[in-house]
Homo-oligomer: A and B are copies of this chain.
Amino acid sequence: MTESKEKLQVETTVKDAQLIEFRRQQIINAAIVLFKEKGFHRATTREIAKVAGFSIGTLYEYVRTKEDVLYLLCDSIYHEVRQRLDSFPQHSGTVDELKEAIKQYFFVIDSMSDAFTIMYQESKSLSTEALHYVLNKELEMVALFEKLLKNCTELGILKLSEQELFLAANHIVIQGQSWAFRRWALHKHCTIDEFIAYQTNTLLNGILRKE
């Protein structure tokens, strides 16, 4: 899995790269808390700075606009997801590999569900350029699962058209994310493991044509 587009640069007045990394992580953490609580528009930059632990002036040394904070947050999600998916042990058996990927993906979402929810609800507030970048990351996610599904078809385990490949991959991505943005409904009825089990079974059964 490779990044398809250059990262959009968020301008800084600070020169020390390590410090930038560190402060931006503080900003992102603060933003997750606040955007979750009150949404992007109701959270103020002053609050973000305060929760991050520094002054409003300092915030703006690491970020040009409030929108940059949202972009940083969205970007960090995919960074995290990629790290996790890249690091899980690769199986030879491809259906198992697919299952494992789904599991890992759902786990990341579970562990970052606030961030995912924010991204879902607020990414529309990004500039066109940043939004395109983020949606593109999303498509990379879909493409990853398309690839894994395709591997299965090549082994003859599945028979899927290109369209079905896409729809199935899309299906996985959405259901995974729904674990985040529909917490309120789902958590009352099952655990993440049960959810993963149901989704994996339904999908694979649904896709496997045994006639």
Q: Give residues in A with beta carbon < 8 Å to B.
A: 39, 41-42, 120-122, 124-125, 135, 138-139, 142, 163-164, 166-168, 170-171, 174-175, 178, 182, 184-186, 189-190, 194-195, 198, 201-210
Contacts and interface: CB of A to CB of B under 8 A. Distances in A.
How many monomers of this chain does the complex have? 4
A167 B139 CA distance: 25
Contact of A142 (B135, B174, B185): B185
Contacts of A207: 202, 205-206
A170 B142 contact: no
The 6 closest A-B pairs by CB, nearest first: A206-B206, A202-B206, A41-B41, A205-B206, A174-B178, A167-B198
10 contacts: A41-B41, A42-B125, A120-B121, A121-B122, A138-B185, A163-B198, A166-B189, A167-B190, A171-B202, A206-B206
Contacts of A178: 170, 174
Given A41-B41, A120-B121, A121-B124, 4 more contacts: A138-B185, A167-B195, A202-B202, A206-B207
Given A121-B124, A168-B202, A174-B175, A163 B190 contact: yes
Contact of A170 (B138, B164, B182): B182
B194 A170 contact: no
A84 to B, nearest CB: 22
Contacts of A42: 125
A19 to B, nearest CB: 17
A183 to B, nearest CB: 11
A153 to B, nearest CB: 15
A204 B125 CA distance: 37
Contacts of A208: 205
Contact of A163 (B41, B121, B184, B194): B194
Contact of A125 (B39, B166, B195): B39
A185 B41 contact: no
B201 A206 contact: yes
